[in-house]
């Protein structure tokens, strides 16, 4: 394929990626508008609402200004003054980043990988700009610069990850159909040559820390996702009761369910923060942690029915998850015969500390991204404290990683 063909196909794929995310918000709202208002109301209101949802799903802040009648109807403290909604519906971001990985992987398979990636990113940025400039109303106003910058940034992260996966799959030299060696892509060769200049002990230690730290993060997130799924099934009756109390109707229930699916990754990260120890808050002064649960009035989201007023039954047992994650990640890494780690107590301790730091940074960033303001007043503080999550999980995983590295070393011998 030519450079132009690659660029055009990548741009088309980027537009489709943006359209998928927008359609998830727009289609149910449009159906609800058509049935509820018999096509009589202005459809632009539906578009703006869907655009706002898509933007906030990528981290764009919304400024909400309610009129006096709405404030009186809702009865929310602090709603009389303009307030911000800063919590991201991470389902949209996960979708965009995941599809971005596919875009990056496909572009990396062509001779014009950077042309394809830049074309896709430019097309996605153009769509994000158009959505941002047409979104908003007198009631809800998105941040313009965030709407233009953050959605393309999320897509760029996915593209970069796709490039990284493609680079990992490619060997330094491959073999063609005639059995002759074919050089690796120039960029991959340059990066590997630069890495080869780093001392072996440092390079192997950093690589081990990144691998094991990311593995520990994945184990904690996987355990949190499993627990959330079990809680949803276990509290199914409570969730259905909350749906019935809202009286949203069939179409309203569908729209509400889709919105909660977009919020589900946030809840998984909150559960991971709970497993780490600090827990999370749903409103200023509230706390949901292994030590205890203190909750005030909760937003009327059926998904919050999985949070019992008295706390989760398994209590401090959940804190074992990050310890087990750190131990398993380090032990499995150490037992691999191809993984050469620096020998000696001090290098082993530093490697374990680096594993904990990698896990702390990753889970801290996830905690930061999953938290924010959900509404006025006490709802300004929702989600986990990223600094506490990062600091505590660093210590937990580092301590467990020391034991895991020692156990893995004995197993290999």
Report how far residue 206's alpha carbon sits from residue 204's, in angstroms, rounded to the nearest whole number. Answer: 6
Whether 48 has a pLDDT exceeding 80, the answer reads yes
Count of C-beta atoms within a 10 Å radius of residue 58: 26
Q: Which residue has the higher pLDDT, 323 or 184?
A: 323
Percentage above 70 pLDDT, the chain: 85
Question: Which pLDDT score, from 0 to 100, does residue 172 have?
Answer: 43
- 8 to each of 112, 118, 403, how far by Cα in Å? 12, 11, 52
Q: Give the model confidence (pLDDT) of 156-190 as tens digits.
A: 999 999 988 887 776 444 444 444 444 455 655 56
Residue 42: both structure tokens together? 């202005």
Question: Which pLDDT score, from 0 to 100, does residue 335 have?
Answer: 65
Report how far residue 33's alpha carbon sits from residue 41's, in angstroms, rounded to the nearest whole number. Answer: 8
When pLDDT is cut at 50, 70 and 90, the band that residue 155 belongs to is: very high
215-219, 397-401, 407-411: lowest mean pLDDT where? 407-411
Phi, psi (deg, nearest 5) at residue 83: -135, 165
pLDDT mean over 281-295: 86
Question: Which pLDDT score, from 0 to 100, does residue 328 have?
Answer: 93
When pLDDT is cut at 50, 70 and 90, the band that residue 33 belongs to is: confident
Whether 26 has a pLDDT exceeding 80, the answer reads yes
Question: Which pLDDT score, from 0 to 100, does residue 406 have?
Answer: 82
Question: Which pLDDT score, from 0 to 100, does residue 190 have?
Answer: 61
214-228, 282-296, 355-369: lowest mean pLDDT where? 282-296
Block residue for tokens 């303001």: 373
Q: What's the pTM? A: 0.87
CA dihedral (304, 306, 311, 313) in degrees, to 10, reads: -170
Question: Which pLDDT score, from 0 to 100, does residue 215 have?
Answer: 94
Percentage above 90 pLDDT, the chain: 47
Q: Give the model confidence (pLDDT) of 83-138 as tens digits.
A: 899 999 999 999 999 999 999 999 888 888 889 999 999 999 999 999 999 998 88
Report how far residue 340's alpha carbon sits from residue 126's, in angstroms, rounded to the nearest whole number. Answer: 46
Closest CA to 100 of 13, 168, 19, 169: 13
Whether 391 has a pLDDT exceeding 90, the answer reads yes
Question: Which pLDDT score, from 0 to 100, does residue 175 have?
Answer: 42
């Amino acid at each position: 394929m030519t450079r132009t063909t690659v660029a055009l196909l990548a741009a088309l794929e980027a537009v489709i990626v943006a359209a998928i995310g927008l359609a998830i918000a727009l289609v149910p709202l449009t159906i609800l508008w058509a049935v509820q208002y018999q096509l009589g109301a202005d459809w632009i209101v539906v578009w703006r609402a869907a655009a706002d949802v898509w933007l906030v799903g990528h981290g764009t802040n919304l400024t909400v200004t309610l009129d006096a009648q709405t404030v009186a109807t809702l009865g929310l403290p602090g709603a009389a003054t303009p307030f911000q909604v800063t919590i991201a519906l991470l389902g949209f971001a996960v979708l965009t980043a995941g599809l971005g990985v596919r875009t990056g992987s496909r572009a990396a398979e062509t001779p014009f990988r950077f042309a394809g990636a830049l074309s896709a990113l430019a097309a996605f940025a153009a769509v994000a700009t158009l959505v941002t400039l047409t979104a908003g109303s007198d009631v809800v106003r998105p941040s313009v610069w965030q709407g233009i910058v953050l959605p393309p940034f999320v897509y760029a992260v996915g593209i970069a990850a796709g490039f990284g996966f493609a680079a990992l799959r490619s060997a330094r030299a491959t073999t063609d159909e005639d059995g002759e060696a074919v050089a690796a892509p120039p960029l991959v060769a340059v990066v590997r040559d630069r890495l080869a200049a780093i001392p072996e002990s440092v390079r192997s230690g950093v690589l081990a820390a990144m691998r094991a730290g990311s593995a520990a993060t994945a184990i904690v997130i996987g355990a949190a996702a499993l627990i959330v799924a079990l809680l949803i099934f276990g509290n199914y009756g409570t969730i259905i009761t909350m749906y019935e109390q809202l009286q949203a109707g069939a179409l309203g229930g569908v729209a509400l369910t889709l919105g909660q699916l977009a919020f589900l990754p946030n809840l998984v990260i909150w559960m991971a923060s709970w497993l780490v120890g600090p827990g999370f808050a749903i409103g200023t002064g509230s706390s949901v942690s292994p030590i205890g649960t203190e909750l005030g009035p909760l937003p009327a989201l059926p998904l919050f029915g999985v949070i019992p007023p008295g706390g989760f039954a398994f209590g401090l047992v959940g804190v074992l998850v990050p310890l087990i994650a750190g131990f398993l990640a380090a032990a499995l890494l150490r037992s691999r015969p191809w993984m050469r780690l620096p020998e000696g107590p001090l290098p082993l301790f530093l490697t374990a500390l680096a594993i904990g730091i990698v896990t702390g940074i990753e889970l801290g960033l996830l905690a930061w991204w999953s938290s924010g303001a959900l509404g006025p007043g006490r709802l300004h503080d929702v989600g986990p404290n990223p600094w506490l999550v990062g600091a505590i999980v660093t210590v937990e995983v580092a301590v467990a990683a020391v034991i895991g590295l020692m156990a893995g070393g004995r197993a290999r011998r």
